[in-house]
Amino acid sequence: MFAFLIVMNQQNIINKLIAVINQLVFIILILVLAIVIVIFKFYDNNNPGMAELKRSDTISNTKKDTVDYWKPKDINLITDKSLKEKVEYGRDLIAHTAKYLGPQGSVMKITNGLNCQNCHLQAGTVIFGNNYGSVNALYPKFRVRSGSIENLYKRVNDCIQRSLNGIAIDTNGNEMQAITAYINYIGSNVEKGKKASGSGFKDLAFLDRAADPIKGMTVYEAKCQSCHQPDGQGLLNNNKNEFIYPALWGEHSFNDGAGLYRISNFAKYVKCNMPQGTTFKSPQLTDEEAWDVAAFVVSQSRPHKSVPLDWPDLSKKPVDLPFGPYVDQFKELQHKYGPFKPIVDAQKKSEELLKTKNKTVAIK
């Protein structure tokens, strides 16, 4: 009997030890799992490539895109030798503007050294890359910025004077005739009055905050400066007569009258096209990064262009135009960086009040 009690006591001790060991094993497993989670979290935070893959706004839309996007009409289809030469010269002028019209231009020395295709990618043929798909179909057209009907000559010279910070060229000269011939030809497959699918910029939602130049500087350093250089002055070719990567600010960049000086345009542009290798289907920047890097770039110094005749109807001014006067009470700083939603809401309210007032007057 005594021996039996000893055996039972030993069994109880063993059972207690087993219970303790099981608890220790469970605790160890929890600790190991916690360590693994911490390690993966640390790796994720310190590996931008992996982090980007997880961000929903940097991953291509998995839904099938059924839109029939515009494609430029093939220049090789031109049978008229004279027309083909003119169109090909126009394409070369757009792709290598500086070679002909830049500071060391072979034809004229009238621009800052940028090429038209620095803004209108691949000679104006990239979807949501500021392409020329709709130009032939829509011009002449009324433009709110000038408050007038503009022809294509006016539009081209606007770009030369603003984005290229240059001097307008003769509308009857070979260069203007070639540029317009090229633009009109590649877009001649779009029905008159219709907008080509994928032209202009792809819409980008406003942030709930102001775009932040400081955060944008971090984005620029990580994803832009390897091409555009730390000082933003771009990279010239060996002959120093054309940019390989364009200047984003300074005397050789676009002036503050250019369309890309508006932060929304710049943000939309980089979202779908930058860094190199980006397409609208596979963006590499988050929405916030696009807005912030745009804020950083437009915050840098650049040439000023006086344009007192722009936006004659103040009520039609874009919300992100950073030059007053305005019909609203928001300051220039907010019009430059945002947040833009309050401005949009105020504009809508003002429009509704005006409609109500007009209806009341009509009834009387």
The CATH number covering residue 254 comes to: 1.10.760.10
Residue 306 and residue 223 share a domain: yes
Residue 242 and residue 143 share a domain: no
Choice among 44-58, 225-239, 267-281, 345-359 with the minimum mean pLDDT:
44-58
Q: What is the pLDDT of residue 113?
A: 98
DSSP label of 116? G
Q: How is residue 147 written in tokens?
A: 């408050």
Residue 177 and residue 98 share a domain: yes
DSSP label of 143? E
What band does 352 get if pLDDT is binned at 50, 70 and 90? confident
Which are the contacts of 99, defined by CB distance < 8 A and separation ≥ 6? 105, 106, 241, 242
What band does 5 get if pLDDT is binned at 50, 70 and 90? very low
Is the omega angle on the peptide bond into residue 339 within 30 degrees of 0, that is, cis? yes
> Does residue 57 fall inside a structural domain?
no
Domain that holds residue 312: 213-360
How many angstroms separate the most distant Cα atoms in the chain?
Answer: 122
The more confident residue out of 352 and 99 is 99
pLDDT tens-digit series, residues 170-200 = 999 999 999 999 999 999 999 999 999 999 9
The CA distance from 311 to 318, in Å, is 9
What band does 27 get if pLDDT is binned at 50, 70 and 90? confident
Q: How is residue 205 written in tokens?
A: 């939602």
For residue 222, is pLDDT > 50? yes
Helix ranges restricted to H, 120-173:
121-124, 135-138, 152-162
For residue 7, is pLDDT > 50? no
Residue 246 and residue 322 share a domain: yes
For residue 340, the tally of other CB atoms under 10 A from its CB is 22
Q: What is the pLDDT of residue 33?
A: 74
> Does residue 59 fall inside a structural domain?
no
Percentage of the chain lying above the pLDDT 90 cut = 78
pTM assigned to the model:
0.82
Q: What is the pLDDT of residue 353?
A: 82
> Does residue 123 fall inside a structural domain?
yes
- Quick check: 232 and 238 in contact, CB under 8 A? no
The CA distance from 172 to 242, in Å, is 26
Which are the contacts of 20, defined by CB distance < 8 A and separation ≥ 6? none
What band does 92 get if pLDDT is binned at 50, 70 and 90? very high
Residue 157 and residue 35 share a domain: no
What band does 6 get if pLDDT is binned at 50, 70 and 90? very low
What band does 152 get if pLDDT is binned at 50, 70 and 90? very high
Residue 235 and residue 337 share a domain: yes
By the 10 Å C-beta count (0-12 exposed, 13-18 middle, 19+ buried), 243 is classed as buried
**In the chain, helix, strand, coil percent, each to 5?**
50, 5, 45
> Does residue 69 fall inside a structural domain?
no
For residue 293, is pLDDT > 80? yes
Average pLDDT, the chain: 90
How far is CA 185 from each of CA 100, 121, 131, 311, rounded to the nearest angstrom?
Answer: 21, 17, 13, 30
The CA distance from 249 to 272, in Å, is 20
The CA distance from 55 to 261, in Å, is 28
Residue 236 and residue 150 share a domain: no
Choice among 16-20, 26-30, 146-150 with the minimum mean pLDDT:
16-20
What band does 29 get if pLDDT is binned at 50, 70 and 90? confident
Residue 92 and residue 16 share a domain: no
> Does residue 51 fall inside a structural domain?
no
> Does residue 55 fall inside a structural domain?
no
> Does residue 260 fall inside a structural domain?
yes
For residue 3, is pLDDT > 50? no
Residue 145 and residue 38 share a domain: no
Residue 239 and residue 355 share a domain: yes
How many domains would you assign to the chain? 3
Least Cα distance to 277 among 100, 167, 126, 139 occurs for: 126
What band does 362 get if pLDDT is binned at 50, 70 and 90? low
Chain centroid to Cα 299, Å, comes to: 16
The CA distance from 343 to 339, in Å, is 8
For residue 62, is pLDDT > 50? no
Mean pLDDT of 201-217: 98
Residue 220 and residue 177 share a domain: no
Least Cα distance to 131 among 71, 82, 81 occurs for: 71
Helix 174-186 crosses helix 152-162 at what angle (to 10 degrees)? 110
Mean pLDDT of 250-276: 98
Q: What is the pLDDT of residue 108?
A: 98
Q: What is the pLDDT of residue 61?
A: 46
> Does residue 196 fall inside a structural domain?
no
Residue 225 and residue 345 share a domain: yes
